[in-house]
A = this chain, B = another copy of it.
Amino acid sequence: MTSESWVAGSAGSGFGVDNLPYGVFSRRGELPRVGVAIGAHVLDLAGLAAAGLVDDRRWFASGSLNAFMAAGRAAWQANRARLTELLTDETYRDRVEPHLVPRADVELLRPVEVADYVDFFSSEHHAANAGRIFRANGDPLPPNWKRLPVAYHGRSGTVYVSGTPVVRPCGQRFTAPGEAEPSYGPSLRLDFEAEVGFVAGVPSPPGRRVGTEAFRDHVFGFLLVNDWSARDIQSWESRPLGPFLAKSFATSISPWVVPVAALEAARVTPPAQDPPPLPYLRCDEPWGLDLSLEILINGHVVARPPFALMYWTSPQQLAHATVNGASLRTGDLFASGTVSGPKREHRGCLLELTWNGTEPLDLADGTRRAYLEDGDTVTIRATAPGATGAPLSFGEVTATVLPAMP
């Protein structure tokens, strides 16, 4: 189906012509603009538009993808088809090549101006492990868990692009078992959560729900999310209204947004749902996504969570989040919750990997981790089956932990 691109090295790079993820970049001293990853290059869409090679309605000379995301599915399809044509047909090469910028020469910026940020809790393995750790004697899953995709709102103002350092948060927490009172200080149980998110492009009106069948009409694409979490702050503050400061200091996202259309070959049947969900959560199409995640601490792989095993799918999450008539805005970000699987090496956060610090993790450099230390760099990568057979890359979301501020 998909031809190879004339861009040298793009085939097999994870950023072939079957991927074409969108991002925002800047070159030294220049204003941000929209680009697409191809091989080791960024294709400058604002430059292509200025040269008359792609349609542009003030979409691409922009500091975010939001204007293009708001344009809707027909515009997304047309742009993707045109870029495919430009990048595979040798006759365009001379005109397009001037708009290819080596990735090493640009800074990748936050791709999306985030409107609201919703974080789900949709991995059964993660939810059950968390339940076993925090409620040792009860049912590992809360009673609502298989009836609806549990979620909460996070802080959209602290969503940062990959590469932005994360300052260790301070707050109230207990520092040892049996303490009578919490104290104030830096979190001692700083964790990551490996997640996959999607961003809405097309708004929806108040009072109307967005059914599972309308997912593709509203959602522009997928990206990687690290939902940084301070476990000690979280366990103390969360009753009865859920996590707040334990999450609100920082959320990291990858710079590339992979279009929904690039993920057709990644779609798989999700796990069977028992009990069957209520009609508003039913989905006629298989919307499991066979993404392979990889988590690294300081360059050492510590887990490989399988996204295909997520219990609740993305269209179900969107249908649930809007079933009460909550409207969508361009830039709404929905994250999956920690991605975990049945095996230890599938677990997507240190809470699970070290069983809340009781089983420290040995890194390949000989050091051990119960929770994150200052200076640690956490990287999450993912690939998906691509249309050409070769895997398609999500790139990565990475960030280094800085010490708490005085």
Contacts and interface: CB of A to CB of B under 8 A. Distances in A.
B116 A156 contact: yes
Interface string A394-406: 0000000010110
Contacts of A157: 115-116, 326-329, 332
Interface stretch (A81-89, A263-271, A317-325): A317-325
18 contacts: A116-B156, A150-B244, A152-B153, A153-B155, A155-B326, A157-B328, A157-B329, A167-B207, A170-B324, A170-B325, A171-B324, A184-B279, A207-B402, A233-B324, A244-B321, A245-B321, A245-B326, A248-B321
A147 interface: yes
Contacts of A154: 153
Interface string A211-250: 0000000000000000000100100111111111110111
A280 interface: yes
Contact of A150 (B142, B155, B237): B237
Nearest to A184: B278
A237 B323 contact: no
A40 to B, nearest CB: 31
Contact of A326 (B152, B158, B324): B158
B329 A151 contact: no
B142 A239 contact: yes
A188 to B, nearest CB: 14
Contacts of A183: 278
Contacts of A115: 156-157
Interface of A: 115-116, 118, 121, 130, 134, 142-144, 147-148, 150-158, 160, 167, 169-172, 181-184, 206-209, 230, 233, 236-246, 248-250, 275, 278-280, 320-321, 323-329, 332, 402, 404-405
Given A233-B324, A327-B157, A405-B207, A241 B152 contact: yes
Contacts of A181: 147, 275
Contacts of A325: 167, 169-170, 249-250, 404-405
A237 B170 contact: no
A332 B156 CA distance: 11
Contact of A121 (B151, B184, B241): B241
B326 A249 contact: yes
A323 B237 CA distance: 13
A278 B156 contact: no
B324 A144 contact: no
Contacts of A208: 405
A79 B352 CA distance: 55
A323 B147 contact: no
A172 B153 contact: no
A26 to B, nearest CB: 20
B144 A237 contact: yes
B324 A240 contact: no
